């Protein structure tokens, strides 16, 4: 077997251990098979206690069996090392499940992810880590698009910034701290009565707005047009938002 390939039952080392296991079968007080235990240890998704409960033996006995027949097959990892790896694997599965739920059909984060993928981008959830290890959770309203960390915001109702304003805008309440640690901010406008729009805005473009001194840590309100209209009375916005509509090209692939 080449280095890096997973251990399988067909491997000569595994077959040799199975032969040793079979020679002592008449002395066992349990019915669990070598193949069953091999699968448990190969997937590394179960603790020694869980394997013992499924097999009808004690945790200590499972540990003995592992050390005698399986430890050399799986890199010489101790029971404690396997438990740590098991915890990491279970957390990764939990995070993947949360990611799938976030991207469910019809979910707003799923809409953004679908549009990004349609533009040829890679998309995944931003997983939470502690001390360099996954916690099993994902960050809310955050995506990794082509490896770039993106804060995602949605707006579903049109507003008018002032009583004299004749145009409807989508209002976004931006968390400055979260936006400043992101590479870009994705704004999804889905105001009733207007077409949906997605704006991909690099952090540097928003920096002058996000860094305005404030007395307290409050959210920043951004008003984006619900449709593209000509400039009215030479009143030009500080940022040409339409320049960043569907701006996925601003997030080049990092890896």
What does the pLDDT profile of the chain (255 residues) look like in tens digits?
444 567 888 999 999 999 999 888 666 777 888 999 999 888 877 888 888 888 888 989 999 999 999 999 988 888 788 778 777 878 888 888 888 888 875 678 889 999 999 999 999 988 888 888 778 888 889 999 999 999 999 998 888 766 676 778 899 999 888 888 999 999 999 998 889 999 999 999 998 888 776 666 678 888 888 888 777 677 777 788 999 999 999 998 875
C-alpha angle with apex 73: 83 to 131, nearest 5 degrees? 30
- Does this model's pTM top 0.75? no
Q: Which segments of the chain belong to CATH 3.40.1350? A: 101-255
How many of the other CB atoms lie within 10 Å of CB of 251? 22
* Region for 4 from its dihedrals, namely left if φ exceeds 0, alpha if ψ lies in -120 to 50, beta otherwise: left
**pLDDT of 215:** 63
Q: Distance between CA atoms of 200 and 213, rounded to whole angstroms?
A: 24
The tokens describing 93, both together, are 């599965």
- Quick one: fold of 101-255? Trna Endonuclease; Chain: A, domain 1 (3.40.1350)
**pLDDT of 161:** 66
**pLDDT of 147:** 93
**pLDDT of 3:** 47
Pairing of strands 123-130, 158-159: unpaired
């Amino acid at each position: 077997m080449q280095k890096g390939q997973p251990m399988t039952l067909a491997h000569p080392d595994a077959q040799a251990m199975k032969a040793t296991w079979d020679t002592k079968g008449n002395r066992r007080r349990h019915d669990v098979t070598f193949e069953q235990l091999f699968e448990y240890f190969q997937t590394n998704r179960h603790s020694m206690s869980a394997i013992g409960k499924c097999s009808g033996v004690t945790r200590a006995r499972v540990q003995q069996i592992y050390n005698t027949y399986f430890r050399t097959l799986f890199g010489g990892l101790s029971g404690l090392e396997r438990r740590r790896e098991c915890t990491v694997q279970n957390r990764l599965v939990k995070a993947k499940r949360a990611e799938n739920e976030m991207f469910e059909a019809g979910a707003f984060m799923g809409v953004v992810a679908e549009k990004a993928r349609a533009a040829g981008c890679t998309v995944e959830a931003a997983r939470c880590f502690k001390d360099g290890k996954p916690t099993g959770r994902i960050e809310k309203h955050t995506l990794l698009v082509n490896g770039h960390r993106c804060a995602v915001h949605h707006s579903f109702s049109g507003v008018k910034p002032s009583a004299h304003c004749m145009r409807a805008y989508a209002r976004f309440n931006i968390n400055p701290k979260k936006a400043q640690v992101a590479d870009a901010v994705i704004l999804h406008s889905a105001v009733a009565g207007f077409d949906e729009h997605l704006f991909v805005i690099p952090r540097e473009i928003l920096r002058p707005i996000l860094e305005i001194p404030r007395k307290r840590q409050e959210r920043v309100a951004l008003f984006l047009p619900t449709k593209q209209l000509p400039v009215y009375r030479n009143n030009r916005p500080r940022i040409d938002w339409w320049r960043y509509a569907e701006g996925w090209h601003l997030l080049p692939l990092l890896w």
